[in-house]
Structure 1
């Protein structure tokens, strides 16, 4: 069964890139541009992973991470924060909010997919290649 990923990104180009790369890897993707729609989309789509932009137009990605982690039906979903915020202390702040993963933009496809696969539950990420 395909892994389900909710991509929260208000930049059209980044959202399309993430969605295309994930779909090409056989994943089911629900792209969301509007931060206000995230909680409803997460409840209805039931993703295995949320990829969260931090700098959204309508609402802070950090606030959305906190809201997801406070919701009993969503809190177990891992979150990968992808952000242009790469200043001192930003990663700590984002992880303290509840994000299990963090990538600074610009993002390269290899590290992006590595981070995604590392956070997916029951993910068998090339374990034979690591031996």
Structure 2
């Protein structure tokens, strides 16, 4: 049996953590959920997830700063990152991609689309 790929989810809203982690399990992934973005770098180094999903609007540190830190650190640079946000303007998309996100996804998403984007991120 193939081991499930671990996906780290960084999300401060409890209902969103529950929703997206359940979608990841349905998709055959092993979600590693963080509710505090200040622990992402250390957790990413320890857990070595296949990909990281980062909410952009976080209470303590901007998701953009989280992504930028992940992508500038040699230990986590190669981990694909999905920016997940309610923000939907062209400038929001550009800011996420400029910070280093590999994929930009707007909430709310549909499960099939979400899982397709995770699969593409891992390819």
TM-score, structure 1 normalization:
0.89
CA apart distance, 1:111:
1.1
Instruction: Name the count of aligned residue pairs.
Output: 121
Aligned to 2:84: 82
Report the secondary structure of 2:53's partner residue: strand
Output the aligned Cα RMSD.
0.9
Aligned to 2:113: 111
Which whole-Å deviations, capped at 9, do the CAs of 1:49-91 have from their partners, x for residues lacking one? 0011000011100000000011101000000111011123110
Aligned to 1:128: none
Which whole-Å deviations, capped at 9, do the CAs of 1:99-130 have from their partners, x for residues lacking one? 00011111111111111110114xxxxxxxxx
Aligned to 2:47: 45
| Residue 63 (structure 2) pairs with residue 61 (structure 1) | yes
Structure 2: give runs of 5+ residues left out of the alignment: none
Structure 1: give runs of 5+ residues left out of the alignment: 122-131
Report the secondary structure of 1:13's partner residue: helix
Out of 4, 7, 12, the residue aligned to residue 6 of structure 2 is 4
Large movers: runs of 4+ above 6 Å: none
TM-score, structure 2 normalization:
0.94
